[in-house]
Amino acid sequence: MSERHVHTPPESSGDAPGRGRLSGRRILIVGGGQMDIGEADTPIGNGRAISVLFAREGAGVAVADRDLASAEATVSLVARENHQAFAIEADVTREADVARMIDGAISGMGGALDGLVLNVGIGAGGAWLEGTSLEAWNKVFAVNITSHMLCVKHALPKLAEGSSIVFVSSIAGMTAGSRLPAYDSSKAALQGLCRHVAFEGARRGIRANVIAPGLMDTSIGRLASRGRPGRATTNVPLGRQGTGWETAYAALFLISDESAYITGQTLAVDGGLTGL
């Protein structure tokens, strides 16, 4: 993508100050670590940016990841800003880990959770249907949709009334284009799961929404561009790729009471790619 010189606010680079938008909240962020792709200065990813931003905005944060060292690195960034967070190791494709993670987050923060962010996904498998094996299909669905079902199954009864759940998905769930059938299909399924969770949670004022990032300059985004170089040249209407911080601010809005009348919806954070 040929990037123009476009003005970006401090929120886009993570330089804006906290404004107390989540003061007193207890939030579990699943997938709060970051993939190491072997680059010295990889931009911050969605989960790590969400963790840091939520703590900056006054929340107590539990950072869960299957890679404990990566989750602890996120916690170190939070501590550097004199805010509070702690790490939990969990593989959310395992139900026992999910149950332990939920209970550990509640215990560690001394009360019921009132926010849950699910930022877990992989794009494994071959290109096109011809290159998609049953093994790869099942693996992608286990991570991209079944793990989310397990998380909300165990979390929903223990969330405080008026809580908010955010699923971090992809515009691949809205429009085909990744060339990975399992990825596209699982991301579309996530919207269906979200709508059910929103329906079930409404009795207790619990909301659920999806964020669908587009082409983001994150570690996973850069790894995807290595495998499909044309991805980086996509003509985004706003003239650039997004940042993990921009995903984080969308999540902040949907977790906060500012979005109190929004549930069962999908918000594309894509620079206009799907809409324009």
Structural domain boundaries in the chain: 23-269
Task: Report residue 35: phi and psi, to 5°.
Answer: -70, 135
Task: Tell me, yes or no, if the pTM score tops 0.85.
Answer: yes
Structure tokens at 266: 């999908």
Q: Residue 1's pLDDT is what?
A: 46
Q: Residue 37's pLDDT is what?
A: 66
DSSP 240: S
Q: Give the up-direction half-sphere exposure of residue 199: CA atoms within 13 A in the CB hemisphere.
A: 6
List of E strands, 40-151: 60-65, 85-89, 113-118
Reported for 95-102, long-range contacts at CB under 8 A and 24+ positions apart, including other chains, are: 95/150, 95/154, 98/147, 98/150, 98/151, 98/153, 98/154, 99/154, 101/28, 101/30, 101/64, 102/28, 102/151, 102/154, 102/155, 102/158
Residues 136-165: pLDDT tens digits?
999 999 999 999 999 999 999 999 999 999
Digits of tens for pLDDT over the chain (276 positions)?
444 556 789 999 999 999 999 999 999 999 999 987 677 788 999 999 999 999 999 999 999 999 999 999 999 999 999 999 999 999 999 999 999 999 999 999 999 999 999 999 998 777 899 999 999 999 999 999 999 999 999 999 999 999 999 999 999 999 987 889 999 999 999 999 999 999 999 999 999 999 999 999 887 756 665 656 666 677 899 999 999 999 999 999 999 999 999 999 999 999 999 999
- Burial class of residue 263 in the structure, from the number of CB atoms within 10 Å of its CB (0-12 exposed, 13-18 middle, 19+ buried): buried
The candidate with the shortest Cα–Cα distance to 180, out of 121, 233, 118, is 121
What's the distance, CA 252 to chain centroid?
11
Q: Residue 147's pLDDT is what?
A: 98
Q: What is the second-level CATH architecture of the domain 23-269?
A: 3-Layer(aba) Sandwich (3.40)
d(CA 26, CA 165): 12
Give me the sign of the Cα torsion angle 258, 261, 265, 270.
Answer: negative
Among the listed residues 183, 243, 247, 249, the single catalytic one is: 183
Catalytic-residue membership of 183:
yes
